[in-house]
Structures are given as structure tokens and as C-alpha cells.
Chains A and B, each alone.
Chain A
């Protein structure tokens, strides 16, 4: 498992390959064989990750997949049941949270209600016995950074949701943390503000070049912001790690293909070194995974926007025939649902490239060889 993940990562973040080829530096966060159980409940199962320095990493998965637990393990708020956590080769598994120097933004934000904005932001400096003047100076800098200048003496209850968000971030960044951890901090904001904050957070992270881990269940959020996405599944394991685009284009399994965006998942059988039979039709595949022998049951994943629909029945490879069961036109895009002998195929196109078909028409779905990703069933 570790090898697979590292390989995947290398393929994804080409600029980082040098880091891994260089034997001297394993700079970054390493999770080794991490398990976490709460009684008989498994929260995190056999996680092996290598998160390089300075990257924006998203832990993405459905609720209950253990992504928050994984973040809390990294923060030191939970102890792993098994495995080690290393930061730049130093074992930090048993270092308590208050000695790790990581900044964390909680889902509830956890701002101290009895302190002002300035006191909240510089709480970590007060704990470290920094002088009052220096604290106030730093509070000003941080509030400038998150665009809250002038609110230093406000009370937390006088702030709006977005402002609280920024205070929480400023507070977590006050000690210049080695890791910046965020646990779904944007989930409580309305859609518009959330998108603004995503962009702002990303720019902030790039400016400070701090290694950042964001937990989210929103795949759009993960895709927008991150250098690396770690996809976790309902079995509490890591399913895939890679750049957003790689994960989208090359999902490692059916779960990832289904969870990230929408995907046509077609059951089929392997019929040759580069052939899969789906619903009686032969599909040519440009890249077949290793170890596929004929008659292996597989699932072919094709993104809707890669599927072309042609009117009428056209013979040939990578073509499935069926009738149009539904056309959804939402203005910016058109979705066409084809029923190919019980196989449901969705195609998405722009209004310009809209195929000339209507509900009930016979049509052909073209699945290009390069767009078909073969996954083990």
C-alpha cells in the first residue's frame, strides 16, 4: 500500500519528484500504518501517507469516513491505536498537542467567547509569554493578513460568520505553525461566501507556503483548492491520493470514480489485452491495468463529458446503441440519458455541441478509448 500511494503521488506532483529521489530529505509529514479504533468502532484503518512540505492537501470523503479523526491524530488530539506519525523524520506520535506547534481551525471555529478578537488571535503568544506590545503588534499583522484590520478590540459575538472564520485562521497562524490544519471550517458559510473564502484561503496558503491539510466532504472544494487530494472511503481507508486532475481522470477504484464528480460505471468483462466487453459491445481501451487476464470482471468508468452521442445507429468499436430516455437542458450544459439495453449512460455536452437527438430517439454513445478507465470490480 505505501508504495502504491507514493507512486501515485509521484505521478501526480511531478515537481515534487526530486524531493523523493533525494535520499537525504524526507521533509514533510509521514503517516505509517495508522489505525484508530474507538472501542469496537474502526475510525481510521491502515493509513500510509506521505505529505510533502508546502503543499495544500485535502482529505476528502463522505461523512464518517474518518477524515476528521485522521486530522485529529495529526494534531495530537487523538492517539493512534497503531502506527507512527513522523514530521521531517522526527517521530511525533507521542508528543502532546500543546507541544506540536500546529495551527488548527476547528469546524465550530472554537473561538474563545470571553476574549476579544486581538486576545483570541494572540492567545498562543500569551501562552508563550510574549510581551503585551509585541502581542498587539503581531495581532495587527495577522488581522491585516486576513483582512480584518481595525477589529482588534471587537468582541467575538460582534462578528459575522465570515469574520469569525478569518479570526480562527489568524489565531491558528499566529505562531507560524509547521502544519496548518483545517477541519471543514467553511461548511457553515453560505455558498457565495464559501467560494470567496476558498480562494482567499488558497492564496493565503501560497503566500505563507505553509503545509496545509483541509478536511472536507465537498469534492468541489477539494478540487478548487488543493495540490493533493487524499480520498477516503466509507471503509475508513485511503482509496487514492493524487492531484485533483489525476484523481478525476484516473480514479483508482469504483468508489473514487463515483465519489469524485459523476461517472458512468459500466460492468463488463475483460476480453483481450486491450478489450473489454460491455453490454455486448466491444470497447477498446488505451491503458489497461496490470494483471488483467481475459474473463476478469471489471468496471469501466467514463466521465459524462467524454461521452459523445450521435443520432441513429452507427456500428463500430467503442459504440453502444440505445434510446434517449431523458434530456436535461440546464442552459450551461446538456445532459443526455441513454438506455442501452439496460445500461444507463449519461453524456454531458455544451449547448453548442448539443447532439441532434430528442427523447425516444435511437442514438449511439461513443466512448473514446482514452476516456475509458478500467477498474477491478
Chain B
């Protein structure tokens, strides 16, 4: 059987279950949302079926534009921060003994077991003026008086990176642990210092993994909804907040659906662009 493609109806039967699940829980809801985005909004009511581009035209506001750009910016920045810290971090983990590697990975996994709500409120407490870390620094004599580090952009970025970091490491761990240890050694025998080796050989040969990790964190962060509201100011609210606001508080389902579809479209274009840049770099060196 190995190497042969399954033939006939029976072989394809195994595929029906996942296909059905995908259809029910992904394609149908997405189709509904896409349809709703063209429906007509009934002020004070819900919506009536139809086809109009009004909802998309209504997206053309300063608020939507600013929030869209901000959401993409936060996602891009946190992806960059996570990958640039996560890559060397993961590299050093993979150079450790097996036992130490397991301990680190379990530690990182345990972060994933925390709910986003708990993480958000915990950091809001730790970054606050009254009970936060700055009090500790004051006590240690490192600071003059306690300050509030939240709400604010840095607090938001910090919270998002805290949540996305374990995923970054998990995405980077397999390719890094598969990296032939002779590659950096070869670079050293050829005269490259350890730092140069890291950038030219380790980073260079794993560029695809880095792009993949970046895209993963970027997409993961785009959907941030809770943290911007807990750790950020209203001007740090992301598009997810705006969409929820339109859907639930303004009961404008067609507009929120249009926002979501447009947001998804822009993100897909950006992800595709990132991947293309990653690929083109590779071709250039050929």
C-alpha cells in the first residue's frame, strides 16, 4: 500500500469526517459572514438580505484606517520582538543538554496553560503604580518613586509578546534542534567568530523557519482582543475591539462583517508579501 495513492470511494471515505467538520465549523460560518457583509443594515433592527457595497464604503473612515494600521503595526512589531528574542533563546536551548531542554520547554508550556484574562490582569497589576514592580525597584533603591507602566503601548506590547513567545519558541524549536551542529563549527574553522557564525550561518540557513515564525506570531497577534482593552488605552485598541464594538454595541452586523473580511484580506496580502520576500531573498543568493 505504501506509495500508492488510495483509490475509489472507500479510500476517500476517511476524508469525509475532517471535510465535514471543516465545512460546518469553518466554511459555512465564513460564508455567512461574507454574505452578511453585503447585506443591508436595518437601523435599530438587525439586517435584511441583499447585495450592496455600502458596508465596505462605510469602512472609509479615519478611525477604521488608523485602527487597521495600528493593529498591523502592533502585530508586526510584536512578531519582530518575539522572533528576535525567541530565535537566539531557542538556539541556546537546543545547545543545552537534553534534560535542561525539557525543563525549559515545560516551563514555556506552562505559560500556555494560563488564560489570557489571567495573564492580562496579572500584568496590569504588576505594571501598576500602587502594587506593581516599580515598588520593588523603589525598595531596591533603583528608582526614586513608584510609577504606572500601564495602561500604555509598552504594557500592551509586553503582554502580547508574553503570550506569543512560547508559540515562537515552539515553532522555532524543531528546525533549530535539527540544525547540523557541524554547520556552526565549519564556519568557525573557516575563521568566523561565534557572533558572525550565528548571523551568517545559523540565521542564514534557517531563514525559512524565521519567516514562518514571524508570520505565525503576526497572525496570532492580529486577533488580539482582550489585552488591548486591559493593558492599553482606547487609542491602543485593535481592530478586533472595533469589530466587536460594531457587532455587539452598535448592532451593526453588516459593518462588522465587512470590517472582518477587509481585515482578513489585508492580512493575507501582507502574509503573502512576507513569504514572497523570504523566498526572493533565497533566490537572489542562488
Contacts and interface: CB of A to CB of B under 8 A. Distances in A.
Interface string B173-188: 0000000101101111
Contact of B286 (A77, A123, A153, A181): A153
B110 interface: no
Contact of A104 (B186, B194, B205): B186
Q: Report the interface size class on chain A.
A: 35 or more
B204 A115 contact: yes
Interface string A117-134: 001000110011000000
A205 interface: no
Given A97-B185, A116-B285, A116-B286, A110 B191 contact: no
B145 interface: no
Contacts of B186: 104, 106, 110-112, 171
Contacts of A14: none
Interface residues of B, number: 23
Nearest to A153: B286
Interface in A141-172: 153, 155, 171-172
B61 interface: no
Given A115-B204, A123-B190, A110 B285 contact: no
Contact of A107 (B182, B187, B189, B201): B182
B286 A102 contact: no
Given A114-B207, A114-B285, A98 B185 contact: no
B192 interface: yes
Nearest to B186: A110
A106 B205 CA distance: 17
B189 A103 contact: yes
Interface in A67-112: 75-77, 96-104, 106-112
Given A112-B201, A114-B204, A114-B207, A77 B285 contact: no
A110 B182 contact: yes
B95 interface: no
Given A112-B201, A113-B205, A116-B286, A77 B191 contact: no
B196 interface: yes
Nearest to A107: B182
Contact of A124 (B185, B190, B201): B190
Nearest to B203: A114
B205 A108 contact: no
B42 interface: no
B58 interface: no
A102 B205 contact: no
A210 interface: no
A327 interface: no
Contact of B189 (A77, A112, A119): A77
A175 interface: yes
Contacts of A96: 188
Nearest to A155: B286
A127 B201 CA distance: 12
Nearest to B201: A112
B182 A108 contact: yes
Interface string B196-208: 1100110011010
| Most chain B beta-carbon contacts within 10 A, residue among A98, A123, A174 | A98
| Most chain A beta-carbon contacts within 10 A, residue among B180, B189, B205, B285 | B189
A122 B199 CA distance: 17
Nearest to A154: B286
Contacts of B187: 98, 112, 123
Closest 4 CB pairs of A and B: A110-B182, A110-B186, A124-B190, A104-B189
Interface of A: 75-77, 96-104, 106-116, 119, 123-124, 127-128, 153, 155, 171-172, 174-175, 181
6 contacts: A98-B189, A98-B192, A100-B189, A108-B182, A110-B183, A112-B204
Given A98-B188, A110-B182, 13 more contacts: A77-B185, A104-B189, A106-B182, A110-B186, A112-B186, A112-B205, A113-B205, A115-B204, A116-B286, A119-B285, A123-B187, A123-B200, A128-B191
